[in-house]
Structure 1
Amino acid sequence: MNKQELIFAVAEETGFNRSDTTRVVEAMLSKIGQTLVDGSEVRLVGFGTFSVTRRKPSTGRNPRTGEPMNIASTSQPKFRAGKVLKELVN
């Protein structure tokens, strides 16, 4: 399911029109992203937790030349499924 299919499904289930549903879904995704950028996590009880983890800098090898190269530290978004979602899937 992509974002447009999600918007359509939510609009059908709630009875809201698609333009209002689109604005709600876009706002929700934007707010989750901005909260992660600000360094906080988003907990949706039963569904899961969105957070950011920090990868340490490391040394790797260039696959073409074999020379060592430095890999900078990065921030990675992370999602941890909640109990209800895990039980629903299993």
Structure 2
Amino acid sequence: MNKTDLINSIAGKSGLTKKDVEAVLNNFMGEVTDALSKGDKVQLIGFGTFETRKRNSRLGRNPQTGKEIEIPETTVPAFKAGNKLKEAVK
């Protein structure tokens, strides 16, 4: 399912217009992005938690030359599924 499919599905089930659903979805994604960029968590009980995690620096290899390179430490977004979501997927 892509974003358009999600918008169509929500609009069909909720009775809202596609334009309204798209606006809400875009705002939701923007708020999650803003919170994660500040280092905050977004926790939706039963669904899951959006958070950031630090990935330590490590050594890697350039696949073309085989030369070792250092991959720097970075912060990445992560999602941890909640219990209700886990149960629904089983």
Category of TM-score, reference length = shorter chain = over 0.9
Question: Which residue number in structure 1 is paired with residue 48 of structure 2?
Answer: 48
Structure 2 residue 63 is the aligned partner of structure 1 residue 63: yes
Count residues in correspondence. 90
Question: Which residue number in structure 1 is paired with residue 33 of structure 2?
Answer: 33
Structure 2 residue 27 is the aligned partner of structure 1 residue 17: no
Question: Which residue number in structure 2 is paired with residue 84 of structure 1?
Answer: 84
> 45-54 or 65-74: which moved more?
65-74
| Secondary structure class of the residue paired with 1:87 | helix
User: Is there any run of 5+ residues in structure 2 with no aligned partner, and where?
Assistant: none
> What TM-score, normalized by structure 2, do the two folds share?
0.94
What CA RMSD, in Å, does the superposition of the two structures yield over aligned residues? 0.9
Query: What fraction of aligned residue pairs are identical, expressed as a percent?
Result: 39
User: Is there any run of 5+ residues in structure 1 with no aligned partner, and where?
Assistant: none
